[in-house]
Amino acid sequence: MSNLSRLRDFIQAFTALVNESGDDEARMLDAGEKLLADLIRHDDWLPEAYSRPDSGGYRQYLLHCDPMERFSVVSFVWGPGQQTPVHDHTVWGMVGVLRGVERCEEFAPDPQSGKLLALGSHDLHPGSIDLVSPRIGDVHRVSNALTDEPTVSIHVYGANIGAVSRHSYDPRSGEQKRFISGYSNDELPNLWDRSDEMAP
């Protein structure tokens, strides 16, 4: 059985944080990272349907969207050999690894040429968190560093990320394309049935 109350508790704490500090990116990233670290400390809560890789490419399963679209929580799943395009977010984001090993390659547009500069690459293990935003660095490519297992990470963004108009990049030319990612799933986990835990 998946311990969904961990995700429900996280969403309630994150909602309280956004109510209080939603306009303060530095505070959201600082306090939000602590909440996300608590969530990904355990790997016993994500329902199987939201951690399933797909041979057609990486999956982005929405787990929760704030009703006013101030933040969203997404489970990303990469099968072996899968990667995102080089892309930006245009809003703050947090990437917390739950399972496997995630490779993050960072880029920055060269203000002179408009091309992309490769800033380097690092691997994230379960429990580790990366931060992105236009202020602190917003362009990356993420892939599965494992060749034999899926990698699963939990992302939080300062918007309904699947509905944000943002950009993918050709890593050589730096050429931008507009994209809207959507989500891979038509149904979300129901976190709100407390009847089992409350039963007399």
Residues found near Mg ion in the complex (CB under 5 A): 182
Of 8-16, 89-97, 108-116, 125-133, which segment contacts a copy of itself by CB under 8 A? 8-16
Which residues have CB under 8 Å from 108's CB, separation 6+?
Answer: 116, 117, 119, 137, 139
Q: State the nearest-atom distance from the C-beta of 196 to a copy of itself, in Å.
A: 8
Q: State the nearest-atom distance from the C-beta of 153 to Mg ion, in Å.
A: 20
87 and 140 in contact (C-beta within 8 Å)?
A: yes
Which residues have CB under 8 Å from 146's CB, separation 6+?
Answer: 80, 100, 101
Which string of x and - marks every residue 33-52 that binds a copy of itself (by CB under 8 A)? ----------------x---
Q: State the nearest-atom distance from the C-beta of 47 to a copy of itself, in Å.
A: 8
Residues within window 168-197 making contact with a copy of itself, judged by CB under 8 A: 178, 180-183, 185-196
DSSP calls for 157-177? ESS-GGG--EEEE-TTT--EE
Can you name the residues that pair with 151 across neighbouring β-strands? 78
Q: State the nearest-atom distance from the C-beta of 61 to a copy of itself, in Å.
A: 9
Three-state DSSP state, 48 = helix
Binding region for a copy of itself (CB under 8 A):
11-12, 15-16, 49, 62, 64-69, 72, 160, 162-163, 165, 178, 180-183, 185-196, 198-200
